[in-house]
Amino acid sequence: MSQGSLFIITGTSKGIGRALLTQLLLESTSRVIGVSRTNTEVTHPNYQHISCDLTDFEGMENCLEKIFPDGEFESIVLINNAGWIGEIAHMGNLSNQSIRQIFEVNTIAPAIMMNAFVKKHTQMKGAKRIVVNVSSGAASKSLDGWSGYSASKSALNMLTQTAQTEADLNQNGIRFFAVAPGVVDTEMQLEIRNASSTDFSSLPKFIGLKENNQLSSPEYAADKILYLIKNAEKFEGVIQDVRDF
């Protein structure tokens, strides 16, 4: 028997991922599996948390069976939301570890999750199947101090576009989106404001956005992402920005 909707969301411990989780648990037909390093204090019959570091590939591989459970669902949605701004510094001042880590979290982990999703669900043509990768406007902008962040999100956009090209060729019916959530008042923005202006010349702009209440709320970004998912047929193209709808 069909069990309603299944949402698999990375980064549910805080920020946009946490807001997505809260909205979805208000819907009695949505089952949610959340993945992040920190456990959430959420106890709800429809929620299962999987504690996993997305930079620990061995650990992640061991979790994939739990992250992608068997079952019949009307819709199955993967939201690769977990992300990291990275070490904010100019080339020459970055640690090698942080260079590796940002691509692991923002690009490689979503690619592994997409690969597992397509492998598992390619034949389930009776179910609506959607992958949303939370990207960034920075994917197509170069800001000093953000080389790894911009490049990792740019690569994520291209992974998403290629996955859609393949889904179209294979006629498996899966929809893929990479969506920029806007500038959102989360801990990631706090990390950005804590950067030094020598590492990041746009620092005054980001401080000003906060001071002038120009950041959107995680709940607003989550609402927009869920609107995209629920109205996927109205959207053409893979690359989306919540500021456009």
What residues are labeled active site? Answer: 149
The nearest distance, CB 28 to ligand NAP, in angstroms, is 24
Q: How far is the CB of 127 from ligand NAP (least distance, A)?
A: 25
Cβ proximity to ligand NAP: between 27 and 53 the closer is 53
Return the half-sphere exposure (C-beta side, CA atoms, 13 A cut-off) of residue 224. Answer: 22
Q: How far is the CB of 13 from ligand NAP (least distance, A)?
A: 4
Q: Taking a C-beta distance cutoff of 8 angstroms, is the pair 8, 35 a contact? A: yes
CB of 134 to ligand NAP, least distance (A): 4
Which chain residues interact with ligand NAP by CB under 6 A?
10-11, 13-17, 36-38, 53-55, 81-84, 105, 134, 136, 180-181, 183-184, 186-189
Nearer to ligand NAP, 73 or 133 (CB): 133
Nearest CB to ligand NAP, comparing residues 128 and 218: 218
**Choice between 38 and 93, CB closer to ligand NAP:** 38
